[in-house]
Structure 1
Amino acid sequence: MKREPRRQSEPVKIAFEEDFVVLPVGAILPVHALRKTVRASQKYRQITASIREVGLVEPPVVARDKSQPGTYLLLDGPVRIEVLKDLGIGEVECIVSTDDEAFTYNKRISQLAAVQEHKMIRRAIERGVSEEKIAKSLDIKVHSVQRKVRLLDGICEEDVALLRDKPCPIALFETLRKMKTLRQIEAAELLVNANNYSVAYVSVILAGTPQSQLVDAAKSKRVKGLTPEAMARMENELSRLQEAITSIQESYGKDHLHLTVVKGYLAKLLGNGRIVRYLRMHRPEFIGKFQTIAEMTSTLPVEVA
């Protein structure tokens, strides 16, 4: 038997040029027009304050314009470029992409989660950066910096692990802090399972938390718009919901395996012409249902899949 010649692996193409380049701001052409509302946004003010206080942290990404030598297409960082223009800065250090696809890099980057921002600020303070300087660079008040520093005070390690990359507002952690450790973990699991990290939702969980599971058990719960009777009903409903979720989690793997086996078995049956003819003659109402199960691509409901 003749062996085929071994194929040589193709070299991996690097995504960026090895060296940064310093470019005149005017030589960088935006791919997309900046919306008029951007200049009035909090993001624009924060980037302006950050560049003014500590300089440009993240270089813009550009690609060489093959049709116009000496000019560059801006792939990432349009707001930073506009801020530099407003501040009268004429040159900027850039990363040069070897691919000129005009997609927005920011769409591939997750926003900084609250836990990650907390750690970043704590690290900066440990290195000697003052709270006032951090507040100026982020264009927020010193009180807000202090809240971010205290974010995880009273929060158990399990919750930090569950929520470290989730888009949680600061007030969510302040609500979790009112619960004891085991209840904190249950609450975080409810948030993750529902993929809902709003203050309203965690307030509902707090309202449904028994008094004995609160850090300050002697202090009565107060949730705006809810009477003590309504909160008592919510406690019962939430308790039943948690029991149902736990039951589903325990049996989900086994049920999914059974459904997969049944799907494969029915697909094999429907591949047998004699069985199909028999079903059409004696059980025609089963054919359509069996075909639907055999052709399933997901066990989730249509509106969820």
Structure 2
Amino acid sequence: MNSPLPGSSVPLSFEGTSLRIPITEILPLKQLTSSVLKSVKYAQIAASIAEVGIIEPPVVIRDRQQPDKFHLLDGHVRLDVLSKNGAAEVVCLVATEDEAFTYNRRVSRLATIQEHKMILKAIEKGVPEERLARALNINISSLRHKKTLLEGICPEVIDMLKEKHVPINTIGQLKKMKPMRQIEAAGVMIVMNKFTVTYAQSLVAATSDSMLVSPKKKIGGLTEDQLILMEQEAAALDREVKTIEQDYGVDHLDLVLAVGYLTRLLANARVVRHLAQSHPDILSEFQKLTDLRRAA
């Protein structure tokens, strides 16, 4: 049961202190695929751990029957790297919620915004920029650019995009818009599942000067009337996108519920063990579905 804050009915999501836990006592809830093990992000995390150690502790939850055993909710790559490096223990945050689905919906993955927060946290801890740049396999100028990544982005948009893999230059385009237009543009990108720089540039081009931080320069000899027409067509497209979103809302809800149920099943260690032993092909497909949902 979650413990409420003193004088409050709001439950805490984590135990009051972190724990140093033997890696052998932590049971992962999913297997890392070969594509993940070969990915650039895996290599970056491995280099970061080798250079500066763990910045974001993995998140675990106690087993109901054996409180000294733990299930891993977040940090599968970090734990895999530590295990392969021969580490015996790891400091973890202990969650009090027993649904990995609930936790995973709230916590950002190692996406663009999460990486930004990780960099800031490392710098706050006193990690030199040169060392951090080596850990992330980037140059100093790129690191300094990442430090200021979210300056000029409104909090609502940060929350909307926190789990998305958004190109840095796309975020740069969003900065050209005022907060309300940033929110609209981020919403359209999410509905269309399109976060490319060129798409963001088209949204900026279709934004009226009143919703931009600085007025647009004239584009390729277009007249004022043509620019106004472009903005009107973009507004009509926004309305069509919202209509489509409403039309497929029921199907989307069914999908969310189905994947949520699968994710809750995979949060049960006994179910995972049974599937791994008796139906590994089904377990693999279930994990692909839940991974796709988290990345969406």
Range class of TM-score, shorter chain:
0.5 to 0.7
Structure 1 residue 146: deviation in Å? Answer: 2.4
Provide the rounded CA distance (Å) in 1 between the counterparts of 2:120 and 2:92: 28
Instruction: Tell me whether 15-24 or 89-98 shows the greater mean CA deviation.
Output: 15-24
Higher relative contact order (CA 8 A, sep 6+): 2
Picking from 52, 74, 77, the partner of 1:54 is 52
User: 1:43 Cα shift?
Assistant: 2.6
1:42 lines up with 2:71 in the alignment: no
2:185 aligns to what?
Answer: 191
- What does residue 144 of structure 1 align with? 142
Q: Which residue of 1 aligns with 2:158?
A: 164
Q: Which residue of 1 aligns with 2:6?
A: none
What letter corresponds to residue 85 of structure 2 in structure 1?
A: L
Unpaired segments ≥5 residues, structure 2: 1-8, 240-244, 251-296
1:303 is aligned to 2:248: yes
Q: Give the Cα separation in 1 of the matches to 2:89 and 2:125.
A: 29
Residue 282 of structure 1 corresponds to none
> What's the CA shift for 1:78?
2.2
In the alignment, the residues of structure 1 paired with residue 30 and residue 246 of structure 2 have an alpha-carbon distance, to the nearest angstrom, of 39
Q: 1:115 to 1:160 in 2, by over 3 A?
A: farther
When the two chains are superposed, the root-mean-square deviation of aligned CA atoms in Å is: 4.6
8 Å CA contact retained: 1:49, 1:137: yes
Matching residue of 2:258 = none
Contact 1:118 1:148 (8 Å CA) reproduced: yes
Q: Does 1:63 align with 2:62?
A: yes
1:232–1:49 distance in 2 versus 1, CA, 3 Å: farther
Count of aligned residue pairs for this structure pair: 227
TM-score (norm. length: structure 2) = 0.55
Alignment deviations for residues 244-267 of structure 1 (CA, whole Å, 9 cap, x no partner)? 6999xxxxxxxxxxxxxxxxxxxx
Task: Calculate the TM-score normalised by the size of structure 1.
Answer: 0.54
Give the stretch that moved more between structures: 119-128 or 196-205. 119-128
Question: Larger C-alpha radius of gyration, 1 or 2?
Answer: 1
Cα distance in 1 for partners of 2:43, 2:117 equals 22
Shift of 1:204: 1.1
Q: In structure 1, the residue corresponding to 2:62 is in which secondary structure? A: strand
Within 5 Å, give how 1:240-279 maps onto structure 2.
Answer: 240-241=232-233
- Percent identical pairs in the alignment equals 35
Contact kept? 1:25, 1:92, Cα under 8 Å: yes
* Match of residue 231 from structure 2: 239
- Deviation of the 1:191 alpha carbon: 0.3
Against the structure 1 CA distance between its residues 62 and 36, is the aligned structure 2 distance closer, same or farther, given a 3 Å change threshold? farther
Q: Deviations over 1:210-254 (max 9, x none)?
A: 89979597x764xxxxxx47898872333224776999xxxxxxx
Give the 3 Å change call, closer, same or farther, for CA 49–231 of structure 1 in structure 2.
farther
Asked whether 1:22 is paired with 2:20, we answer yes
Q: CA deviation at 1:171?
A: 0.5
Displacement, 1:21?
4.1
Alpha-carbon separation, structure 1, partners of 2:229 and 2:90: 58
* Equivalence map 1:167-246=2 (5 Å): 167=161, 168-176=166-174, 179=176, 184=178, 187-196=181-190, 197-208=195-206, 221=219, 228=220, 235-241=227-233
Whether the 8 Å CA contact 2:52–2:127 is kept in 1: the answer is no
Counterpart of 1:132 in structure 2 is 130
Preserved CA contact (<8 Å) 1:45 1:139: no
Matching residue's letter, 1:61:
V
Kindly provide the amino acid, as one letter, of the partner of residue 201 in structure 1.
Answer: Y
Residue ranges of structure 1 left out of the alignment (5+ in a row):
1-10, 222-227, 248-299
Offset from partner CA, 1:26-50 (integer Å, 9 cap, x none): 3333332222222112332232223
The answer as to whether partners of 1:114 and 1:164 remain within 8 angstroms in 2 is no
| Superposition deviation, residue 51 in structure 1 | 2.0
Cα distance change on mapping 1:195 and 1:85 into 2, 3 Å = same
